[in-house]
Amino acid sequence: MNRSGVVLSIVCGVLAVSAGHASAQTGTWADRGYINLGWGVESGSTTIADSRTSTIYEETATVTTSSGFTSGSLFDVGAGLRVWRNLTIGVGYHQEQNDTTGTIGGSIPSPIFFNRPRTLTGSEPLGRKEAATHLSVGWAFPFSDKLDALVFGGPSLFRLTQDVISNVVQSEASVSGTNIGGVITVAERKASVTGFNVGADVTYIVWSNDNIRVGAGGFIRYSQGEASIRMLATDQPTTVGGLQFGFGGRLRF
């Protein structure tokens, strides 16, 4: 089983245990709907790399590029309605952004000496933004008048915008050197893919009147999708989503 499968199994197990404990509680969730606003972190990583060969000075030149993205902060908002007993339907949105440094490497033939290639090195700052809309079906577990939990899951639509190193042209400022740089071209790539989400949200009410209830809460969600991004010469797979957790304000009506 891959890492995503292990994480998903752990999350599902935690949710199942929580639901089992909550099933011992009786009562129907009293609220008609909810609005959640929060901030958090997406814990995940993805690395993409590509290579390209060409003929320069009647020899083979190789250029490679690689970039890795790790955890980033996210903004999260969601809303839903109770449709039957404790059953809810909802929609959520999260946006996460982080930056990294893309690297280049390679072997470039010399214009002076045969079979004496030069080493190509360089780097360039890159950005990545992930946005996703989550549809979910959930079940609310009221533990008390002030404390409840919502377990949910459903499909997710991801929109990925990512910078990539799309081209590298070697610099010939010093034709006799053993290490050279290159002129780097950065391109913005976009992809839309469908994935899934599963998670839980816990809310504690701190103030209420006859119409609304205001509280604070935290969430944990695992979402995932698989996209492809064009780099130097080919489309390379990359993972969107990951294990997300955070906290924020809660409004019930």
3-252 carries CATH number 1.20.1250.20: no
Paired sense of beta strands 179-180 and 118-142, if any? parallel
The pLDDT of residue 69 is 87
Domain ranges of the chain: 3-252
Using CA atoms, how far apart are residues 131 and 195, in angstroms rounded to an integer? 12
- Cα–Cα distance list, 76 to 50, 82, 162, 183, 250 (Å): 33, 20, 20, 38, 12
CB 42 within 8 A of CB 243: yes
Using CA atoms, how far apart are residues 18 and 200, in angstroms rounded to an integer? 9
Using CA atoms, how far apart are residues 117 and 52, in angstroms rounded to an integer? 16
Using CA atoms, how far apart are residues 80 and 131, in angstroms rounded to an integer? 19
Using CA atoms, how far apart are residues 224 and 194, in angstroms rounded to an integer? 9
> pTM of this prediction?
0.84
The pLDDT of residue 9 is 53
Using CA atoms, how far apart are residues 51 and 104, in angstroms rounded to an integer? 10
- Cα–Cα distance list, 80 to 32, 36, 252 (Å): 9, 9, 10
The pLDDT of residue 18 is 46
The list of the chain residues with pLDDT below 70 reads: 1-26, 173-177
- From the number of C-beta atoms within 10 Å of its C-beta (0-12, 13-18, 19+), residue 145 rates as exposed
CB 45 within 8 A of CB 68: yes
The pLDDT of residue 24 is 45
The pLDDT of residue 172 is 76
Phi, psi for residue 25 in degrees, rounded to 5: -80, 145
